[in-house]
Amino acid sequence: MNDLQMVALGEASADLVVEGGRVLLPELGEFQSRAVAVVNNRVAALPADPESAVGPDTEVIHADGRAVVPGFIDAHTHLDLQQCYELAYHYSLEGGTTTVISECSGFGSFGPSGIEEFLAATAYLPVTVRATLPPTPLFDTFEPPAATDEEASELLDLLADDRVVGVGESGWIHAVGRDTPAEALYERAGEVGKPVTGHAAGCRGADLAAFASIIDDDHEAITREGVIERAENGIHVVGRCGSVRDDIEALAAAIDRVDPAECSLSSDGVWPRDLTDGHMDRVVRRAIEAGIEPTDAIRMATLSPAQHFGLSDRGSLAPGNVADVVVLSDLEGVRVETVVSGGEVVVRNGSATVGPRNREYPPEFYDSVSIPTDPGAFSTPADGDWVRAITLEGGLLTGEQRVSPVVEGGGFRPDPDGDVLKAALLDRRADSEGGFTGFLTGLGLESGAVATSLAWERPGVIVVGADEREMARAAARVAGMGGGWAVADGEIVAELPLRVGGLCSDLDVEETATLTGTVESALRARGVGVDRPLLAIQTLSFPGVPALKLSFSGYADVRARELVGLR
Ligand SMILES: Nc1ncnc2[nH]cnc12
């Protein structure tokens, strides 16, 4: 007989007992007065009377009528961007989050070994991290695929790893109505029964139905109709509330039609400034505030994602499951008091008992930004009297318009007075010299330049400026730091190093948050008025939304699925 049965049958005492609480059974959608008895990091039993489970060495947590729920699962996020998670994970725990399903598009730009590095970096944390494999290096829609054939085949093999739970977000633009080089990855995922995550922003009707033959979930529904249409097509709906977007209203508006078992909740990324305020607790709270029943909201943050991603021993407190337990002092307010992760008490009275862990990454992670840093890298010969420019429309979306930049010395120059800036994407891989300089309106930068190596879904550096010399200065600083953000205006006026892969800060989260604020303030002080300018800038390379974006060899006209030039 195993140790769990011994406790369940009253023949041995447990390591830990959470007693006196109202335990949520997400399978039934109801609370019952039970205790949670834990042995060997697993739930042994949910006894109504825990007396026999409590021995002299048993740690007892008194829940005193409070809600006791399974640890929250973030069904979709990006842990390999913005901040090294080993320095930040304790805030997830304070937010009741014990399991995270993370994309790997950042570290994945280092090839399959980058994904292994992400798995290694997160393997021993008291939060369970599971990864999805990025298909992006396989896509050939706007550029040749980044992955070699050998890397593509290694990527497929990584699907066999237990910590890999599926394929990461696949933009519909790369896959609907055309052959895609990611086909073999999708097929292998089907063979091993792991889901494919969609990125169906703006995809509807026949296109969505076609995409449903590839994908299993999607987090891009932003209206009630979008939620229902996904569910109608058998696509698991992942509601989102995080640093990038909050679409919980759409999910709440559709919940009269859609079964909570077919929905999960996610953050889609909690950036350092937000993470210090919580993680999945905020998402569940938001869902409850939007009108979703607490039992349903919690189900969507526990059992639903566990079932969807094949985490058969998580998502509920059923006997045999990993002991991830959260005691809430206030159910509707989702106030996290105590967290047990894998049987270990990691949060008491709302504060983590575990903290940041330092880690050294392989040398290539500290030497990942190789770009030209002279003003000539941003020159654009004057040809004609107009050029295409990306127009900021807030958040992730951009539009397109024609602008007439200043002509000087045979080249087009930025015209900050007319809000015409240059915007470049430079390839930062050591063996590549690709780069394209286009134009941008709507940011309002009056002087100087900003550069960042945090370019979504491209191994590049984005540089936006009112002056080519300042663009070169900001780009040089980013390269000098081994990645990060820099704002230049005669000198470097603000910076945030992202030393790990040019993508993640290895400073304390609090310091990362502060420096992020200084970068934003430096832009604001130079006339930038748009909402969330750092989001707008880092997504200039993101082809996940139907818009005009920066690519290494031109503009990516995402809707038309073609590369276009300045005119
Ligand atoms: N596709 C993406 N790439 C980088 N960061 C993200 N945050 C949310 N979606 C993202």
Distance 218 CA to ligand 1 centre (A): 13
Distance 14 CA to ligand 1 centre (A): 42
> Looking at the predicted complex, does its ipTM rise above 0.90?
yes
User: In this structure, which amino acid lies at residue 338?
Assistant: T
What are the structural domains, with CATH classification, of the chain?
Answer: 70-313 (3.20.20.140), 363-564 (no CATH)
With CA atoms as reference, report the closest residue to 506 among 104, 87, 122, 107.
87
Q: How large is the greatest C-alpha to C-alpha distance in the chain, in angstroms?
A: 88
Distance 511 CA to ligand 1 centre (A): 22
Atom of ligand 1 at shortest range from CA of 269:
7
Q: How many CB atoms are located within 10 Å of the residue 313 CB?
A: 13
Mean pLDDT, to the nearest integer, of 103-111? Answer: 96
pLDDT at 350: 98
- Yes or no: say if 461 and 485 are a contact pair by the CB < 8 Å rule: no
With CA atoms as reference, report the closest residue to 270 among 479, 523, 70, 72.
72
Output the six-digit token pair for 499.
């030393």
pLDDT at 204: 97
Atom of ligand 1 at shortest range from CA of 169:
1
Provide the pLDDT confidence category of residue 546 given band limits of 50, 70 and 90.
Answer: confident
Q: Which of 74, 167, 244 to mutate to test the pocket of ligand 1 (most atoms within 8 A of CB)?
A: 244
Which residues partner with 351 through β-bridges?
Answer: 348
- Yes or no: say if 554 and 565 are a contact pair by the CB < 8 Å rule: yes
- Yes or no: say if 546 and 561 are a contact pair by the CB < 8 Å rule: no
Segment 10-48, tens digit of pLDDT: 999 999 999 999 999 999 999 999 999 999 999 999 999
Mean pLDDT, to the nearest integer, of 432-457? Answer: 96
Residue 6, judged by CB atoms within 10 A of its CB (0-12, 13-18, 19+), counts as middle
Distance 408 CA to ligand 1 centre (A): 37
- Yes or no: say if 181 and 140 are a contact pair by the CB < 8 Å rule: yes
pLDDT at 339: 98
Provide the pLDDT confidence category of residue 397 given band limits of 50, 70 and 90.
Answer: confident
Provide the pLDDT confidence category of residue 533 given band limits of 50, 70 and 90.
Answer: very high
Q: Is the dihedral of CA 101, 107, 113, 117 positive or negative?
A: negative
Q: Which of 77, 268, 275, 541 to mutate to test the pocket of ligand 1 (most atoms within 8 A of CB)?
A: 268
Segment 288-308, tens digit of pLDDT: 999 999 999 999 999 999 999
Q: Which of 109, 118, 456, 539 to mutate to test the pocket of ligand 1 (most atoms within 8 A of CB)?
A: 456
- Yes or no: say if 339 and 94 are a contact pair by the CB < 8 Å rule: yes
Distance 456 CA to ligand 1 centre (A): 6
Rg of the chain (C-alpha set): 24
393 pLDDT exceeds 90? no
Q: Whose CA is nearest to atom 4 of ligand 1?
A: 456
HEC profile of 524-565: HCCCCCCCCHHHHHHCCCCCCCCCEEEECCEEEECCCCEEEC
CA 371 centroid distance within chain: 26
Atom of ligand 1 at shortest range from CA of 105:
3
Distance 244 CA to ligand 1 centre (A): 8
Q: Are strands 16-25 and 562-564 parallel, antiparallel or unpaired?
A: unpaired
Q: Whose CA is nearest to atom 8 of ligand 1?
A: 268
**Integer CA distances (angstroms), 117 to 32, 108, 159, in order:** 42, 9, 15
Q: Whose CA is nearest to atom 3 of ligand 1?
A: 456
Distance CA 251, CA 241 (A): 11
Least confident residue range of 81-85, 429-433, 452-456: 429-433
HEC profile of 90-149: HHHHHCCEEEEEECCCCHHHHCHHHHHHHHHHHCCCCCEEEEEECCHHHCCCCCCCCCCH
Output the six-digit token pair for 526.
């130079």
pLDDT at 298: 98
- Yes or no: say if 305 and 73 are a contact pair by the CB < 8 Å rule: yes
Determine the length of the chain. Answer: 567
Distance 6 CA to ligand 1 centre (A): 46
Within 6 A (CB) of ligand 1 lie: 78, 81, 105, 169, 244, 268-269, 456-457, 544
pLDDT at 29: 96
With CA atoms as reference, report the closest residue to 535 among 394, 391, 416, 428.
394
pLDDT at 432: 85
Distance 100 CA to ligand 1 centre (A): 15
Segment 503-527, tens digit of pLDDT: 999 999 999 999 999 999 999 999 9
With CA atoms as reference, report the closest residue to 132 among 83, 179, 205, 76.
76
pLDDT at 122: 98
394 pLDDT exceeds 80? no
395 pLDDT exceeds 90? no
- Our CA angle for 349, 517, 447, nearest 5°, is 175
With CA atoms as reference, report the closest residue to 303 among 314, 319, 287, 318.
314
Distance 420 CA to ligand 1 centre (A): 26
- Taking all residues of the chain, what is their mean pLDDT, rounded to a whole number? 97
Output the six-digit token pair for 303.
């059992």
